Amino acid sequence: MRPIRSAIPALLASVIMATSLTGCQFGDAEQETGEILIGADLELSGAAAQVGKAYQRALELKVEQVNESGVLGGRKLRLDVRDNRFDQKVSESNIGEFTSNPATTAIIMGSCNECAISAAKTVNDKRVPTIALAPASDVAAPAAERRYMFKLGPNARDNAAAIVTELRTRKAKNVALLHTDDKYGQEGLQTLTAELKKAEIDLVGARAVQATDTDVSQAVQALVALAPDTVVVWAPAEQATLASASLAEEDFEGDVFFDGVAAGDLFIGGNSRAAENTTMVFTQTMAIDDVIATTPAKAARKQWFMDYTARFGGYYGYSSFAADAVQLIVDAINRAEAEDGTPDRDTIRALLETAETDGLSGPIRMTPENHSGLMPQALTLLVARGGRWRMAG
């Protein structure tokens, strides 16, 4: 083990050195000064406040790191954060103000699917590149109608495929599904149903809950009554935790799977015993302690995890997507300048559309046909052990 451990500092050093060299390259040329404004439309109150605040912390930390690195020469990033209160109308007002401000270089949106979908026409018409952290596919598809809208985060089709692959390995015979009655939950029902059918695994029943529900016990009781050998929970972290508690109260002894949207705090909290041995599809970031830093990208992920936890005292799974959104925008600006171009909105959009990087979340690749960048290879299976998420196996 010693040779592997001794390689970690060297890898971290190489990542830091690469960043430093990038800054030096821009320092050698005549530098522009001023600020680069990024608007952030987030759920800081209301139903999704927990994830919205995690996004805000991640954005602020990443912006601080970029500014300290000097990678943008004499310019600095500045965030303009607005609370949409998980309300589509409030979000539309925020987006309208951002897109009407000629100083706004790009926009990052939070977890509200309906907010991001409704913003697509405005950001297209005003030609402002926007990266949404909401999970529904309709946020960024079809790409031809979402030219200025991009998405970072797990995709329903990839999550469903990963879950069903594991169910086949475990020789599961039948499954029950708890999902939210919103765009992403409905997409989960459709994609999981299709994947289960291909695998010849029966879906014995599905129950929907509202995204704002604080009690899912009746839906869980109805599913357990169907006697499935596996229950899949396709809901945000707070509701997934409630579902775990309800399944324990019902003495459910089968397997429990969480979709990636359930990724929240690293430590599961008061219901950790109920969630023990639950399997979740997500990125390695939630269990980065179990990952050996054998590449610069993995070393960077471990460093991000340490920086975030040192600053905020804990870790939230989706923070890496927010940080990657900032990095994609910064990379597009630098690529434009390296190619003797002007980093205006249209150029940034065009470069985001061909972005390819090994990010903090995992491999990310955008194409003109696919504006949802997280690749399936970024996903892995995690398991709840001892009150926190660990790599499965």
Q: CB of 275 within 8 A of CB of 243?
A: no
Instruction: Please enumerate in sequence order all residues whose Cβ is within 8 A of that of 268, keeping only pairs 6 or more positions apart, or say none.
Output: 241, 275, 384, 387, 388, 389
Q: What is the pLDDT of residues 326-340, one digit of tens each?
A: 999 999 999 998 887
Report the 10 Å Cβ neighbour count for 84.
27
CA–CA separation, 89 and 138 (whole Å): 18
Bond into 102 cis (ω within 30): no
CA–CA separation, 204 and 379 (whole Å): 26
Burial code (b: 16+ CB inside 10 Å, e: under 16) for 273-290 equals: ebbbebbbbbbbbbbbee
- The alpha carbon of residue 339 and the mean position of all alpha carbons in its chain are separated, in whole angstroms, by 30
The yes-or-no verdict on residue 8 having pLDDT over 60 is: no
Q: What is the pLDDT of residues 187-205, one digit of tens each?
A: 999 999 999 999 999 999 9
The pLDDT-based confidence of 312 (bands split at 50, 70, 90) is very high
- The angle formed by the CA atoms of residues 264, 267 and 271, to the nearest 5 degrees, is 90
**How high is the pLDDT of residue 211?**
85
Q: What is the pLDDT of residues 96-124, one digit of tens each?
A: 999 999 999 999 999 999 999 999 999 99
Tokens 């109150």 belong to: 45
Report the 10 Å Cβ neighbour count for 75.
18
Q: CB of 219 within 8 A of CB of 208?
A: yes
For residues 220-225, average pLDDT: 98
The yes-or-no verdict on residue 165 having pLDDT over 60 is: yes
Q: Where are the domains of the chain?
A: 2-154+293-376, 156-289+379-391
- Amino acid identity, residue 225? A
Q: Which helix (H) or strand (E) holds 162?
A: helix 156-169
On the question of a common fold for 2-154+293-376 and 156-289+379-391, the answer reads yes
The pLDDT-based confidence of 15 (bands split at 50, 70, 90) is very low
For residues 75-102, average pLDDT: 97
**How high is the pLDDT of residue 29?**
34
For residues 212-222, average pLDDT: 95
**How high is the pLDDT of residue 348?**
97
The per-residue DSSP string of 273-302 comes to HHHTT-EEEEEGGGGGGGS---SHHHHHHH
Q: CB of 332 within 8 A of CB of 352?
A: yes
**How high is the pLDDT of residue 171?**
96
Task: Kindly report the average pLDDT of the chain as a whole number.
Answer: 90
The yes-or-no verdict on residue 324 having pLDDT over 60 is: yes
Query: Which CATH number is 2-154+293-376 given?
Result: 3.40.50.2300
Q: What is the pLDDT of residues 16-55, one digit of tens each?
A: 334 433 333 333 333 466 899 999 999 999 888 999 999 9
Q: What is the pLDDT of residues 114-154, one digit of tens each?
A: 999 999 999 999 999 999 999 999 999 999 999 999 999 99
Report residue 20 as tokens. Answer: 């430093």
Instruction: Please enumerate in sequence order all residues whose Cβ is within 8 A of that of 48, keeping only pairs 6 or more positions apart, or say none.
Output: 86, 110, 111, 112, 211, 236
For residues 363-367, average pLDDT: 98
The alpha carbon dihedral of 69, 73, 75, 79 has a sign of negative
Q: Among 71-75, 124-128, 157-161, 351-355, which is the least confidently predicted range?
A: 71-75
Q: Helix H segments across 101-155?
A: 113-126
**How high is the pLDDT of residue 298?**
94
**How high is the pLDDT of residue 339?**
86
The yes-or-no verdict on residue 57 having pLDDT over 90 is: yes
Tokens 């809901």 belong to: 235
Q: Name the superfamily (CATH) of residues 156-289+379-391.
A: Response regulator (3.40.50.2300)
Per residue, what are the HEC states of 15-64? HHHHHHHHHHHHHHCCCCEEEEEEEEEECCCCCCHHHHHHHHHHHHHHHH
CA dihedral 234, 237, 242, 247 (to 10 degrees): 50
The pLDDT-based confidence of 62 (bands split at 50, 70, 90) is very high
% pLDDT > 90, the chain: 82
**How high is the pLDDT of residue 268?**
77
Q: Decide: residue 258, CB within 10 A, 0-12 exposed, 13-18 middle, 19+ buried.
A: buried
For residues 289-298, average pLDDT: 92
* pTM reported for the whole predicted model: 0.90
